[in-house]
Each structure stands twice: as C-alpha cells, then as structure tokens.
Amino acid sequence: MLKTNLLVAQNRMKAQADKHRREKVFEVGDLVYLKLVPYQLQSLAAHAYHKLHPRFYGPYEVLERIGSVAYKLKLPTDSKIHHVFHVSCLKKHLGPGVSPLTVLPVVTEDGLKSLEPMSILQRRVYKKGKGAEVQLLVHWKGSKENDATWEDYDELTKKFPDFPL
C-alpha cells in the first residue's frame, strides 16, 4: 500500500515536471548554437563581467548523435574544447543564413580562456577612497574593438609585465 502510494506520488510529480520540459532532438547536418559557461573558461586575465559575454557561439554543424542526450559538433580545428556536448548546451539555428556570430574563445591546455592585450585605447583616472586609481581601456587580441574592457592599471601590469603601457 505504502509502496504504491509512493509510486503514484512520484508519477504525479514527474508528470508536473515534464509539462515544463521539451525534448530537443537534432539531426545530423543541423546547425546549432553552442552555449558555454563563461565563468568556467575564465583565467586571471579575463574580466569579471561574464554576464556581458556572448551566451551562444556558432552556428556549428551536428556531426553525430551520441546516446540520447549528447551530440558531437564540427568545431574549428584550432579549438581546444571537447567536441561532444549535452543537449542542454545546444540551441537550434533558425533561418536560412549562416554567418558565425562569434568565434569560440581561445582556450589554453589548462581549460582556461587565454587573453592577451593588443592595445590600449584610452586611459582614465577615478577617485577611490582617499586616493586615485588608473584604469585602461584594453583592446584584447582576437576580439572586436567594441569589446574592449576597462582594467585596473596595477592588475594589468601584474598579469602582463612585458606589455608596454
């Protein structure tokens, strides 16, 4: 009696939870966008504003279905990210045009995002407590000039001592 009541309750909870879920199925050759978790791919050189980074990369072609919830994607040859992803990390590409929105971030062998400053676009001084802090607008290699970020001068000199400021 107790066991059957428990099974009935479990089935009822599963039915309620499944109302909000939808099954994602992709065919071989479909184009999908890839969602990467930004805070897992950041190194010390990356900035803390991961909420402003792109959420999806791609579109990339589905090469193979692995099991019921994993897919192998055709990523660029120079990417150091594993090619198999869970279905929850993928979003179907809709529309006729195929133009990559963003390229995959360059990742080191440690799995960390590698960024190098390319140039300093601007300099600003702001008041912090009783002193003044200097920040630099840094244009990063492999990114657009519009994606430049403000970085503290002291932090930048620690991370990149050879970079001319």
pLDDT in tens, 2-12: 999 999 999 99
- Which helix (DSSP H) or strand (DSSP E) does residue 146 occupy? none
Under a CB-based contact definition with an 8 Å cutoff, are residues 35 and 46 in contact? no
Residue with tokens 């900035």: 47
Distance linking the first and last C-alpha atoms of the chain: 75
Strands (E), the chain: 31-35, 56-66, 70-74, 84-86, 90-92, 117-128, 131-140, 149-152
The pTM (predicted TM-score) of the whole model is: 0.52
Q: pLDDT tens, 118-144?
A: 888 889 888 888 888 888 888 888 777
Please give the average per-residue pLDDT across 45-62, as a whole number.
Answer: 71
Give pLDDT, residue 110.
58
Q: At residue 42, does pLDDT exceed 50?
A: no
Give the residue among 29, 6, 9 at the shortest CA–CA distance from 17. Answer: 9
pLDDT-based confidence at residue 104 (cuts at 50, 70, 90): low
DSSP category for residue 68: T
- Structural domain boundaries of the chain? 31-92, 117-159
Say which amino acid occupies 161: P
Report the alpha-carbon distance of residue 105 to residue 154 in Å, rounded: 25
Sign of CA dihedral 126, 129, 131, 134: negative
